[in-house]
A and B are shown apart, each in its own frame.
Chain A
């Protein structure tokens, strides 16, 4: 027992990692591999997914995964780099979806164009809608973003606009399942790396300041609201893209695009995958979407299941998968006597 007491676990950074972090020029193959391997693994893994998917149904699941992944990335970015906990992922999906749906249905614009339009216009609109709420924080922002989608849904129902509860069916679909999958996967990969780069740029530091050092930011003559808006815009881009894509994936938009699932799932994915890593959410969705598909047989029970997962993770393993894996990857752990 006493023996145990004087032993403790020590963590050492791998030499490679230490250098790779600080020194900007990486000298040896070893170091390059050290940095490249995980990224390559992710990219290749994602790109191979469609090939190993057993059948069309699972390929469709991959597409859905893509949408959720985008949402999750957006959520993680907002929550852990800018400090805005948004429970309104559905708003992004809905707005993006509807806009591209409208473009396609009423103006006959082809998906190739309507998706980008939906994305951009959607993001702008979402940012404008959320603008007044940006000074709010924590619980307040979370709650109000939570109410926005519900609001949108009710209004569309009540006013009977945009096809009311029927939605707008018969949109033009995307050409082939392969396009479907690689389009979304490509977007996921690109946006992940772009965002990761972004948060390590100078602007990333400003964002982080907005999150937990806002005095310093304002004392530097930088408008916090402005950068919050920028951040929301970025997240909205991802969300709306997901929505627009979804609209043409099923050739249909309706109020259920504002459904709560879209707001909740990103949370779970992020919590499980590893908050504050941006790749974590992707990983999280990659694990959870298929699981929830497999559990489909259990009906409602599967929601129970993944909300419990969420609780457990946040209580007992809040670092999430990726942070953990990363620690293991970058550090030796061993027992030392003290």
Chain B
């Protein structure tokens, strides 16, 4: 994991009506690392993600990715240069087979470029990708209707969608939430493999244990402000963090 700053976020702010969802927040992302972002409910994690990936307009602040200022770029353009994301609530084309859900990313300008113009049979590519993220082909899972798949597969589908984009950064919005222990257990290696393949990840999580296993650094936010940053273990020792999580005056 190099020290090169890959994505830089400076003094980001956003407020809805009176509420300051994200307040003057800054952080860096280094190439190849996994950055975990944690915080209590409503602390503005998802908003932060939306801001960075351009799905919500920024009030103020600056976002730089690969030395182009993407602060005011539209979402699709940001994705187009390799900063892609997953969604917490997965909304697939329920009426289509799983592999058809891979069409939009494969159809996108970016993957057309990366496939040097001619991209073979999209369906085939899609099925390969799905298999990569753990859709058992011989069990015909890729052919099942997306609507009929269990949540675990849908989350994997999200990953596959991102992979189809040949991403450089993936922002994962609570990939573990709502999954059974077993599912999570099988998800963790996938995340690790992504990192091995040289993809940088930002992970928003509630499931701290699993997150701490994979994450290199942790960013803790509360009320839209950064309250701590550092190596997983260290972070939890921080007073503010424990207050935020466990309330007042708890001794360890």
Contact = CB atoms under 8 A, between A and B. Distances in A.
Consider the complex of A and B and state whether they touch directly, i.e. have CB atoms less than 8 Å apart.
yes
Most chain A beta-carbon neighbours within 10 Å: one of B53, B104, B110: B104
Contact of A205 (B76, B77, B100): B100
Contacts of A203: 107
Main secondary structure of the interface of A (DSSP, over half): helix
Contacts of A205: 93, 96, 100, 103-104, 107
A224 B84 CA distance: 16
A54 interface: no
A216 B100 contact: no
Nearest to B162: A219
Interface string A205-222: 110110001011111111
B91 A216 contact: yes
Contacts of B75: 218-219
A223 B54 CA distance: 13
A20 to B, nearest CB: 15
A202 interface: yes
B108 interface: yes
User: Which of A205, A206, A215, A217 has its CB near the most chain B CB atoms (within 10 A)?
Assistant: A205
A206 B122 CA distance: 13
A153 to B, nearest CB: 35
Interface in B91-149: 91-93, 96, 100, 103-110, 122, 143
B91 A220 contact: no
A209 B104 contact: yes
Given A205-B96, A213-B93, A216-B161, A221 B103 contact: no
A260 to B, nearest CB: 35
Contacts of B87: 215-216, 219
A141 B77 CA distance: 24
Contacts of B24: none
A266 B92 CA distance: 31
Interface residues of B, number: 29
Given A202-B107, A206-B104, A216-B161, A221 B79 contact: yes
B24 to A, nearest CB: 27
Contacts of B103: 202, 205-206
10 contacts: A205-B103, A213-B92, A215-B55, A218-B76, A219-B53, A219-B85, A220-B105, A222-B104, A222-B108, A223-B76
Nearest to A201: B103
B93 A221 contact: no
A221 B165 contact: yes
A206 B104 CA distance: 6
A226 to B, nearest CB: 9
A216 B76 contact: no
- Is the contact region of chain B dominated by helix, strand, or loop, or is it mixed? helix
B74 interface: yes
B64 to A, nearest CB: 19
A202 B122 contact: yes
A323 B175 CA distance: 38
Contacts of B80: 221
Contacts of B110: 221
Top 10 A-B pairs, shortest CB-CB distance: A221-B79, A221-B80, A220-B105, A220-B104, A221-B108, A218-B75, A205-B103, A218-B76, A220-B108, A202-B103
Interface in A180-238: 202-203, 205-206, 208-209, 213, 215-224
B161 A219 contact: yes
A223 B110 CA distance: 12
A220 B104 CA distance: 6
Contacts of A219: 53, 75, 79, 84-85, 87, 161
A202 B96 CA distance: 12
A221 B91 contact: no
A215 B164 CA distance: 16
B91 A217 contact: no
Given A203-B107, A217-B104, A220-B165, 10 more contacts: A202-B103, A205-B93, A206-B107, A219-B87, A221-B76, A221-B84, A221-B105, A221-B108, A222-B104, A222-B109
A150 B99 CA distance: 45
B161 A220 contact: yes
Contacts of A224: 76
Contacts of A202: 103, 106-107, 122
